[in-house]
Amino acid sequence: MIDLSTEYMGLKLKNPIIAASSGLTDSVEKVKNLEANGVGAVVLKSLFEEQIRMEIDSLGMNNMFNSYSDSENYVAYYTRQHNVSEYLRLIEDSKVAVDIPVIASVNCYSIGEWVEFAQKIEDAGADAIELNIFIMPGDTQLKSEDIEYKYFDIIQSVRKNTKLPIAVKLSSYFSGMGEILTRISNSGVKGMVLFNRFYSPDVDLDNEKIVSSRIFSLPEENAMSIRWIGMLSDKVACDMAASTGINDGYDVLKNILVGAKAVQVASTLYKNKTKHVSVMLQQMESWMQQKKYSSIKEITGKLNYSKLNSETYERAQFMKYYSSYE
């Protein structure tokens, strides 16, 4: 019998596959179905910082609807459709309905009164909070250190408002990746999700318009997570979860081998439906059986960068790669 269990940010998971925050986790029925198909945990669809701020500022809401730009009106519209108390009910009801850990998620980019909402998430019974922090580094006046400071500010402010374990879901837009990820891991967070994947622009040549590029990831996009988790998982002070491009059970194993404690999946479940989780679990078990491994713990971090001792390895691979194609 193969033991697929793992521990991620202090939570016990029966296996490392977590349903990522998305429309796949926005209702109790979907969460129940994900559990029935075998996921180890779920991250609920994110609540947006703007939604919480608007609810706090509800007296001023009518003015906002009338006087704001299109994008701000969209936020207002979204807020009316998905209000904050419904989110708390989703946490409460999911906790009653399933035995797997339920992680709440907040999408944020600044501090403010909204951070107090972390306490409400805790009261609703969530097992942890994932902060999807994204500050687009496009402001030509804003230095890297000022952007980085905001991440720490948000983490510290949320920490003051809850005792729940906190994970941060990050983008790959950092210059000194090793240094910043290590520093974030020392800020009291228990988990780090590498990497978030979000809207990217594309150009529609026929209509000469900016449009959204592919919504769902491709397996090739997993390379970034493999690199950075492999390089840093034994240097950071918290657990790492992989996200983006994890398509099947073999991809799960790759990320575990380089040091991830868990993986998060969205696109593959959109494309192959929730039942794909059981296929992924079978693929993992059959590979482990074939290789005579009996537990996930045996393989976690086995191919971690430092185990391969690898400055030379990386440099040599780099040279080999560039010199083998003429």
Ligand X SMILES: Cc1cc2nc3c(=O)[nH]c(=O)nc-3n(C[C@H](O)[C@H](O)[C@H](O)COP(=O)(O)O)c2cc1C
Q: Which residues bind ligand X (CB under 6 A)?
A: 20-23, 45-46, 105, 107, 132, 169, 196-197, 215-217, 243-246, 265-268
- Specify the residue, 245 or 301, whose C-beta has the smaller distance to ligand X: 245
Question: Hey, is 274 helix, strand or coil?
Answer: coil
Residue 315 CA to residue 319 CA, distance in Å, equals: 6
3-state secondary structure at position 28: helix
Smaller CB separation from ligand X, 103 or 238? 103
3-class state of residue 264 by DSSP: strand
With respect to ligand X, which residue has the nearer C-beta, 51 or 105?
Answer: 105
Which CB, 230 or 293, lies closer to ligand X? 230
- The minimum distance between CB 303 and ligand X, in angstroms, equals 21
Rounded to the nearest whole angstrom, what is the least distance from the CB of residue 195 to ligand X in the complex? 8
Residue with Cβ nearer ligand X (82 or 95): 82
CB of 73: closest distance to ligand X in angstroms? 20
Please name the residue that has the structure tokens 């796949």.
24
Q: How far is CA 161 from CA 88, 115, 184, 215, in A?
A: 16, 7, 18, 34
Q: Is the dihedral of CA 60, 78, 147, 18 positive or negative?
A: positive
Minimal distance in Å, beta carbon 251 to ligand X?
A: 9
**Tokens representing 321?**
């790669």
Quick one: 20 or 115, whose CB is closer to ligand X? 20
Name which of 260, 259, 241 is nearest 192 in CA terms. Answer: 241
Residue pair 167/133 in contact (Cβ under 8 Å)? The answer is: no
**Bridge-partner residues for 241, per DSSP?**
193, 262
Task: Encode 10-20: b = buried (16+ Cβ within 10 Å), e = exposed.
Answer: ebebbbbbbbb
Contact residues for 112 (Cβ-Cβ < 8 A; gap 6+):
49, 53
For the bound state, the minimum distance from the C-beta of residue 244 to ligand X, rounded and expressed in Å, comes to: 4
- The CB-of-90 to ligand X minimum distance in angstroms stands at 12
Of 46 and 162, which CB lies nearer to ligand X in the complex structure? 46
Query: Nearest approach, Cβ of 287 to ligand X (angstroms)?
Result: 20
Return the number of the residue (157 or 268) whose C-beta is nearest ligand X.
268
Query: Smallest distance, Å, CB 137 to ligand X?
Result: 18
The token pair that represents 144 in the structure block: 């890297």
Residue 25: which residues within 8 A CB-CB, separation 6 or more? 19, 31, 34, 42, 43, 44, 45
DSSP 109-129: SS-SGGGGHHHHHHHTT-SEE
Amino acid 142 reads: L
**Least separation in angstroms between CB 14 and ligand X:** 20
Minimum CB distance to ligand X smaller for 15 or for 268: 268
